[in-house]
């Protein structure tokens, strides 16, 4: 596990190994889970990786992606790569990401152009348009207290999360002018429609439902 992304961690755990954070969160969700933590780079833990049925990778460079995928394919291990980048636009920064399944005998990340000679060469000169400063997410003011309580072993955290939203959400739709420029921030029409559909479903009972929204309509608020 690498340390370079530790600035993305919550304040209560900043500076600690990601493998320790992952272990703590897994224990909170599944106390009986069997966890083998290796606080090192993956190249030093290949013996443990060979025991896996499936490998998830969230490494920080194209070169590391290439090498980890090559290791998995060489040993006939399915590999799921998760990555992101930061690109500057006219007003702020956009965050892009991808999830890629690499199966032995199927096309690899190079085949699809996710890895190529250009990005492998360029990454030595940059880390996205954000430079050397890592991205830091906005945090809820009560997030640290929740993390402390979760670490202490609270069991009713789901109900706490649900109750924290009661009476706090406003169905405000964004407005645009004739040129299509947003003049007032708010929810897009598909988002409001999906939220009302969820509310209508819950009037019938607590059964699980699936909300399907095409990419580009604002489905991140339901999956984030």
Query: Do residue 73 and residue 172 come from a single domain?
Result: no
Beta strands across the sheet bearing 79-88: 55-57, 79-88, 93-102
Question: What's the predicted TM-score (pTM) here?
Answer: 0.49
- What per-residue confidence (pLDDT) applies to 149? 75
Q: Is residue 17 part of a domain?
A: yes
What is the total count of domains within the chain?
Answer: 2
- What per-residue confidence (pLDDT) applies to 171? 83
- What per-residue confidence (pLDDT) applies to 188? 83
Place of tokens 């961690």: 9
Query: Do residue 160 and residue 104 come from a single domain?
Result: no
Query: Do residue 112 and residue 164 come from a single domain?
Result: no
- What per-residue confidence (pLDDT) applies to 211? 84
Query: Do residue 23 and residue 105 come from a single domain?
Result: yes
Long-range contacts formed by 70-77: CB under 8 A, 24+ apart: 71/46, 72/102, 72/104, 73/102, 73/104, 73/108, 75/49, 75/50, 76/104, 77/49, 77/50, 77/52, 77/53, 77/104
With a cut of 70, which residues of the chain have pLDDT below it?
1-15, 124-144, 215-224
- What per-residue confidence (pLDDT) applies to 73? 92
- What per-residue confidence (pLDDT) applies to 78? 95
Query: Do residue 86 and residue 44 come from a single domain?
Result: yes
CATH of the domain at 30: 3.40.50.720
Q: What is the domain extent for residue 39?
A: 6-122
Query: Can you tell me whether residue 97 is helix, strand or coil?
Result: strand
Query: Do residue 40 and residue 87 come from a single domain?
Result: yes
């Amino acid at each position: 596990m690498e340390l370079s992304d530790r600035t993305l961690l919550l304040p209560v755990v900043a500076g600690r190994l990601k493998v320790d954070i992952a272990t703590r969160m897994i224990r909170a969700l599944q106390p009986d889970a069997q966890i083998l933590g290796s606080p090192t780079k993956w190249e030093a833990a290949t013996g443990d990786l060979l025991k896996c049925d499936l490998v998830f990778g969230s490494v920080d460079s194209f070169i590391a992606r290439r090498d980890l995928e090559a290791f998995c394919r060489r040993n006939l291990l399915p590999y799921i790569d998760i990555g992101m980048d930061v690109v500057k636009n006219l007003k702020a920064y956009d965050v892009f990401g991808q999830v890629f399944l690499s199966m032995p005998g199927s096309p690899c990340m190079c085949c699809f152009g996710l890895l190529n000679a250009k990005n492998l060469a360029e990454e030595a000169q940059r880390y996205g348009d954000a430079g050397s400063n890592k991205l830091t997410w906005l945090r809820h003011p009560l997030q640290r207290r929740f993390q402390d309580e979760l670490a202490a072993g609270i069991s009713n955290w789901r109900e706490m999360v649900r109750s924290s939203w009661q009476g706090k959400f406003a169905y405000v739709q964004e407005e645009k002018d004739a040129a299509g420029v947003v003049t007032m921030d708010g929810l897009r029409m598909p988002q409001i429609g999906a939220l009302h559909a969820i509310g209508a479903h819950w009037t019938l009972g607590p059964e699980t439902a699936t909300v399907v929204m095409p990419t580009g309509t604002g489905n991140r608020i339901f999956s984030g």
